Each structure stands twice: as C-alpha cells, then as structure tokens.
C-alpha cells in the first residue's frame, strides 16, 4: 500500500490497513523498514520505489552497486570455496554433494545479498534479478527442515541445534526473515515469505516459552529486526511477541557476557560494551520493538546508550569499534568481573587510530540504529550521525571500483607495522581466498545498504514530507512529486522543485546539518522567513503550487576538528572536514622523500578547494601548505630529541577518507599533528 496523498488523514490510512487473512500475507507498506503502521514513530519510511536517485553522489553509488558490486557478489558467493556461499544451501537442499564450508554466519550473508537484489529490483525491474532470486529461494525452501529450522552450519554437520551461541543460528535466521520481507515488498511474491513464516512459527515454539538455557542466544541478534519486520509484513502479533521476548531474555539470567551485551538486561544497561555489531543489531531490534510498543524504559535505555557511544566511544568517521581484542572491566561499577571482548567498544575516550577496528558491518549497524532513533524521536542529531557514517566509515568499506573491500577501517595506516586481526595491507578483492580476511559479511552488507539508501532519504508524516539526506533524486508518493537537484557533498546548494501537489497546505521539513554555519533558505527566490538552525529540521508550511522552488545554501567551509582532551591519541592533532566529509592525508600524495609521520599542519592553513573528476572516480580535494620536520637522530629511534620545527614547506593534498587505499598500499592518517 502506498501513501496516495498527504492531504488524506494518516489515521484513515493506518485504520485501512488489514491484517493477514487466511494465511496470506498482505504487505502493509513497501519500505525497507516498514513503519507504515507503527504507532510510535514521528515519521514513516517511504516505499522502496517512491524515491529514485537521479544524479550526483548517491546516484553514482547506486549505479556502481547495481552494475558492479551486485554482479560481483552474485558470482563470488556461488563459489564453493568462498566463506559465504550458496553452495551450502544447495547441499542442504539435496541439489549438490559436499560438506559444509565457510563461516557459521555464511547463510545470513547470502540472505543479505538477496535483500540487496530485491532492493535493486524494485527500482530497475530487471527480470534477470527476479529469476536469480527465485532460483535461490527455491533452493532455500528445499534446504529448510520440515519443522521450519534452517541453518546449514548445523544441518550439514554433527552439531546439535541451540547448543552454542557462536554457531550463529539466529543471526542467519534473522537475516532470512528480513530479506524475505524486503523481497515480498519488492516483488509482491510470497515464495520467500512463506519460508520466513514457517521459520518464524518454529522460532515461536522454541523461544516464546522463554527457556532459561537459551536466555543469552544469540550472539549477533539480527533476529529481533527480522521478527519485527515479519510482524509488520503479516500482521501476526506473535512475531512481535517473539521480538519482545528476544529483547527481554538477553541478560535476564546470570552467566551472560559483555561481549554480546548479555550480562546486564538492556533496560538497565548504562554503557556501550562488547562487540560493536551485536550491540548495533540489538539496539536496532529494540528500537523496532519500541516503534510498535512505545515502551518508555526501552527508549530511555537506547537514548542513554546513544549518548555513551556518540559522546565517548565514536570515531570522527562514525566508526564504533576501538578494540580488536581487549577486556570489559566493570569492577568499579560493581557489576562483576572483567570479560574478554573483541571487535568491541573500548573504555570512554579510548579511541586509538592505527589499531582502530571499526568493522564495516558495525559502522553500517550504527547508521541503521541512528535511522531508527531518528524515526522514534524526529531529532536531527540522529540524522547527523547517520549521515556521518554513510559518507565516511560505511563507504570506506568499498573501493571506488565497486569490487574490493575493507573489513576494518582504521584512521591511520603505517606500512611495515604488523597488522592485527582482519586488517589487510590493501583492499581485498571480491573473493576471500585471495585475501587475508576470511569473513565475507561486509561486502553484501555494503551492497544492501547502497541498494536501499533511497529509502532512507525521505520520510512522511501527517501533511509533512521530511528530507533527511541530500542527493539528486525524485520523491513521488502519488500525491506529491518533487525533484531534488544538488552536487552535495561537493557543493552545498540544494534545490527542490515541486512538480505535483494537493491543493491543501502541507509541510516540507528540511534537515539542516550540524556542521553548517550561516545556512540560507529561499522559497521562489525570496528569503523563507524562518529560523535556520544547525542540527535541526526547518519547516516550510504553506499551500504549494507546481513550479515552486526551494533553495537551501549550506556554506562548505573547510574546518579543523580537535578531539576531547581525554582522547590521548589525538592530543595536538587535528582532523579536516568539509561538509559531511572527513579528509585524510595519504602517502600517495607525498614526495617519495617525505614520510607521512613527519608532516605537520599549520594552525591556520589556507585551503584551496578543487574538484577532480578524474581522481578516484571524482572527488573534491583540499590543498594547503604544510611543513616537514627535520630529524638529527635516526627515524627508527624509539625516543628522540624534539624537532625545532618544520625545515621544509610542501604542498599537502588531502582526499576524502572513504577513498583511501585505492591506489595501492599506502600510509594514511586522518589526524595530523600541528606545527
């Protein structure tokens, strides 16, 4: 069902939505995350095909995903020796012979790829994608056990069900549920959704009784989001109860670990701990539950955790995992002994740069969580973090050619220094056997995010259209059609033209980024007459006419950023941002005789801003003069006499952080010492 006109009362639309009848699912809405009937959100997400990228930055990334990334993943993820492969599902279906190969979570990564295909299909209507999805869905259906269970790492081995949370059964199943719902909304077919309902019914029999021994399952809880989407798609309230049960069980009995946020019940949690992907997925699922129930305690906990992450544990790029390995120590809080953690949040202000983990999936999960918090509250601060991740620590996980990847996303790289777990000296190609990283969860996650991002750009509420993300696009819900033109993030001018509108008044709600100073807003060439404040939404409420234009000008000054003084790794360093883009200095842009470690930035640099269409698929670069210090002692010395200052001046050439390591192995830094 689509929102046909904003002039029609939203209550009438919501009341007109029917539940599933006689076992046949009726899609209530067709967004990626379907909040079309969620009673506790400030806006509702738009249908998958209501927004289309037309030009500029995100249109180019969608095209790259459609034309390069998705075809590459289709090819690679059918290889039997890839760590995430459809071959395991074929074996479980009796269509091939062999043994299970890969990671315990490989099935879930296959489902993420189907979700990406479904989102691309909804826009392109490519029949080849439809046939490919149907082929895989048929295999999945044959692999599913008669009682609804499906997880090939159990079915093809001698392992027993529900014995070890590290077997990732619920992670795989959660991604199946979500992918099936998105597929149904994109194609209007029920073949995958029938499999999901059978699985959902099985999970209800296992978990709704709340067995004590399964209190801490699973490790990585995509299952909560999946169960809520299954409820939203079918109208079956038992699936919402299942999602609530998953939230309630976590941390409900002794023996849980900080590593998977199971030591403390979510509603009582005070700080972000443990694995950053499991945390983000847990909080996303809890936010989805909150959108349906409105529970204050759940929203309070999520708000409290968000403050801890963004004020003490988040990187400038939006990355969230400081530690490859470490410990979570709660003794001072009297909550038990320390736990071993990995891929995890550090202590407050513990944000190392060279050893930052910042897994691409964690960064994407962080953006997903902020998108949901934005819907719950309407507060622009969540859109700010969401956008920061999308332009920086999400996009850095994909090479500019669209088929090589990063698992970890550090803010400094020094060649010759030993790498840590899942680090790689350069981007690895689209097949894991050729890379040092034997985990394929991030590539399909990037693909589905880029494929679905048009669904993040706008929202709708009663008589209001929200604009969250800037990018050349069209919005058309049947009653209102508008076109957005912009070169954002390279240029700060955004022009929106009204092409179709009801005769009754409605509100255009525009996001003003937090980084901007001196934004100007005009309607039909005249000042809009409203206050334009950073990190807020501004309302333009009027009776619109076709041909009306809105022009938002966001000055894009180059600014130096410093971190909180308790972030020891960045004392006397600065980072450089222009608009939402974090910049970095890469050794590829330095003379061979100059070490990146010896470069210094002046306190008041004078910047030249230039767009280079031929560099790194088109980027805006920043240039200024910097200094190079001279050393009287060997550069290998652990401790040495302080330099008297720069002895040489050179031209510094900074590129967007997301585009680093696309010209071979290199040194790189986001934070640069000051002269």
Question: Does 672 have pLDDT greater than 50?
Answer: yes
Question: Does 433 have pLDDT greater than 60?
Answer: no
CA distance 574 to 375: 33
Closest CA relative to residue 662, chosen from 444, 432, 398 = 398
Closest CA relative to residue 669, chosen from 568, 573, 586, 550 = 586
Structure tokens at 45: 């997400």
For the segment 376-389, the average pLDDT, to the nearest whole number, is 98
Residue 268: CB atoms within 10 A of its CB come to 10
Residue 446 exposure: Cα atoms within 13 Å on the Cβ side:
34
CA distance 507 to 413: 47
Q: What is the pLDDT of residue 10?
A: 29
Closest CA relative to residue 385, chosen from 396, 395, 374 = 374
CA distances from 645 to 415, 589, 627, 642 (A): 25, 22, 8, 9
CA distance 39 to 57: 34
Question: Does 225 have pLDDT greater than 60?
Answer: yes
CA distance 213 to 215: 6
CB 199 within 8 A of CB 183: no
Question: Does 351 have pLDDT greater than 90?
Answer: yes
Query: Quick one: pLDDT band at residue 330, thresholds 50, 70, 90?
Result: low
Q: Which residues contact 38 (CB under 8 A, 6 or more apart)?
A: 44, 232, 291, 292, 375
Closest CA relative to residue 373, chosen from 315, 291, 312 = 291
CA distance 371 to 32: 12
**β strands within 292-338, DSSP E:** 323-328
Quick one: 546 exposed, middle or buried, by C-beta within 10 A (0-12, 13-18, 19+)?
exposed
CA distance 184 to 187: 5
- Express each pLDDT in 84-115 by its tens digit: 999 999 999 999 999 999 999 999 999 999 99
The β-bridge relationship of strands 493-500 and 472-476 is: unpaired
Query: Quick one: pLDDT band at residue 2, thresholds 50, 70, 90?
Result: very low
For the segment 14-34, the average pLDDT, to the nearest whole number, is 50
Question: Does 299 have pLDDT greater than 80?
Answer: yes
Q: What is the pLDDT of residue 428?
A: 85
What is 458-553's CATH number, 3.40.50.300, 2.60.40.1180, 3.30.1320.10, 2.60.40.10?
Answer: 2.60.40.1180
For the segment 573-579, the average pLDDT, to the nearest whole number, is 98
Closest CA relative to residue 113, chosen from 94, 89, 92 = 89
Buried-exposed string 582-610: b where 16+ CB fall within 10 A, e elsewhere? bbbbbbbbbeeeeebebbbbbeebebeee
Question: Does 19 have pLDDT greater than 90?
Answer: no
CA distance 324 to 334: 25
Chain centroid offset of residue 608 CA: 32
Structure tokens at 491: 């240029």
For the segment 578-586, the average pLDDT, to the nearest whole number, is 98
The proportion of the chain whose per-residue pLDDT surpasses 70, expressed as a percent, equals 93
- Express each pLDDT in 248-277 by its tens digit: 999 999 989 999 999 999 999 999 999 999
Question: Does 543 have pLDDT greater than 80?
Answer: yes
Query: Quick one: pLDDT band at residue 307, thresholds 50, 70, 90?
Result: very high
Q: Pick the more confident residue, 65 or 629.
A: 65
Structural domain spans, the chain: 458-553, 559-673
Per-residue H/E/C for 637-653: CCCCCCCCCEEEEEEEE
For the segment 610-621, the average pLDDT, to the nearest whole number, is 98
Helix %, strand %, coil % of the chain (to 5) = 35, 20, 45
Closest CA relative to residue 290, chosen from 275, 308, 305 = 305
Q: What is the pLDDT of residue 213?
A: 92
Q: Determine which of 76-90, 348-362, 634-648 has the lowest per-residue pLDDT on average.
A: 634-648
Residue 78: CB atoms within 10 A of its CB come to 14
Structure tokens at 266: 């979510």
For the segment 361-383, the average pLDDT, to the nearest whole number, is 98
The region, left, alpha or beta by phi > 0 then psi within -120 to 50, assigned to residue 415 is beta
CB 30 within 8 A of CB 47: yes
The pTM score is 0.94
CA distance 197 to 195: 6
CA distance 356 to 343: 9
Could you report how far apart the first and last alpha carbons of the chain are, in Å? 59
Q: What is the pLDDT of residue 7?
A: 31
The proportion of the chain whose per-residue pLDDT surpasses 90, expressed as a percent, equals 85
């Amino acid at each position: 069902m689509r929102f046909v006109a904003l002039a029609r009362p939203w209550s009438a639309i919501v009341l007109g939505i029917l539940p599933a009848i006689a076992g046949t699912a009726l899609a209530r809405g067709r967004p990626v995350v379907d909040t079309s009937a969620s009673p506790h959100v400030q806006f509702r997400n738009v249908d998958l095909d209501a927004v289309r990228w037309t030009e500029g930055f995100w249109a180019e990334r969608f095209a790259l995903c459609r034309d390069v990334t998705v075809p590459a993943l289709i090819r690679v993820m059918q290889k039997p020796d890839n760590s995430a492969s459809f071959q395991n599902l074929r074996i479980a279906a009796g269509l091939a012979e062999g043994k299970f190969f890969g990671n315990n979570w490989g099935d879930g990564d296959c489902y993420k790829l189907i979700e990406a295909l479904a989102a691309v299909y909804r826009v392109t209507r490519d029949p080849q994608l439809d046939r490919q999805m149907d082929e895989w869905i048929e295999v999945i259906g044959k692999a599913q056990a008669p009682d609804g269970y499906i997880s090939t790492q159990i079915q093809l081995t001698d392992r027993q069900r529900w014995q070890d949370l590290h077997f990732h059964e619920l992670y795989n199943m959660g991604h199946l549920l979500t992918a099936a719902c998105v597929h149904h909304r994109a194609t209007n077919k029920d073949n995958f959704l029938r499999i999901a309902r059978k699985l959902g019914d099985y999970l209800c029999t296992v978990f709704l009784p709340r067995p004590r021994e399964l209190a801490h399952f699973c490790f990585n809880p995509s299952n909560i989001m999946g169960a809520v989407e299954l409820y939203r798609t079918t109208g079956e309230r038992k699936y919402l109860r299942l999602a609530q049960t998953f939230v309630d069980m976590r941390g409900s009995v002794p023996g849980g670990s900080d590593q998977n946020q199971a030591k403390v019940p979510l509603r009582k949690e005070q700080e972000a701990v443990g694995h950053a992907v499991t945390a983000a997925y847990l909080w996303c699922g809890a936010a989805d539950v909150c959108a349906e129930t409105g529970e204050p305690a759940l929203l309070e906990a999520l708000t409290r955790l968000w403050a801890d992450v963004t004020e003490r544990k988040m990187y400038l790029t939006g990355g969230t995992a400081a530690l490859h390995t470490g410990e979570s120590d709660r003794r001072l809080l009297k909550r038990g002994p320390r736990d071993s953690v990995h891929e995890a949040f550090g202590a407050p202000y513990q944000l190392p740069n060279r050893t930052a983990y910042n897994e691409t999936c964690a960064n994407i999960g962080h953006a997903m969580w902020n998108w949901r918090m934005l819907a719950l509250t309407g507060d622009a601060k969540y859109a700010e973090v969401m956008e920061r991740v999308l332009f920086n620590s999400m996009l850095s996980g994909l090479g500019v050619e669209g088929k090589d990847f990063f698992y970890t996303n550090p803010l400094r790289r020094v060649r010759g220094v030993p790498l840590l777990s899942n680090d790689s000296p350069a981007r690895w190609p689209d097949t894991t056997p050729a890379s040092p990283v034997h985990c394929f969860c991030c590539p399909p996650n990037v693909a589905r995010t880029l494929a679905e991002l048009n669904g993040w750009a706008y929202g709708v509420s009663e008589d209001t259209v929200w604009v969250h993300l800037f990018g050349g696009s069209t919005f058309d819900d049947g009653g209102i059609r508008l076109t957005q033109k912009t070169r954002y993030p390279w240029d700060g001018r955004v022009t929106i033209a009204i092409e179709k509108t009801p005769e009754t008044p409605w509100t255009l709600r525009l996001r003003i980024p937090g980084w901007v100073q001196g934004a100007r807003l005009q309607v039909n060439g005249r000042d809009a007459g409203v206050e334009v404040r950073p990190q807020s939404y501004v309302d333009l409420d009027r009776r619109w006419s076709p041909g009306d234009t809105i022009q938002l000008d966001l000055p894009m000054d180059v600014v130096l950023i410093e971190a909180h003084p308790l972030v020891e790794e960045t004392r006397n360093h600065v980072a450089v941002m222009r608009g939402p883009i974090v910049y970095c200095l890469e050794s590829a842009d330095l003379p061979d005789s100059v070490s990146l470690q010896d470069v210094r930035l002046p306190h008041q640099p004078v910047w030249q801003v230039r767009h280079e269409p031929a560099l790194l698929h088109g980027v805006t670069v920043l240039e200024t003069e910097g200094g190079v210090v001279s050393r009287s002692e060997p550069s290998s010395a652990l401790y040495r006499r302080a330099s008297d200052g720069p002895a040489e001046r050179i031209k510094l050439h900074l590129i967007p952080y997301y585009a680093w390591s696309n010209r071979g192995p290199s040194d790189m830094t986001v934070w640069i010492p000051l002269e």
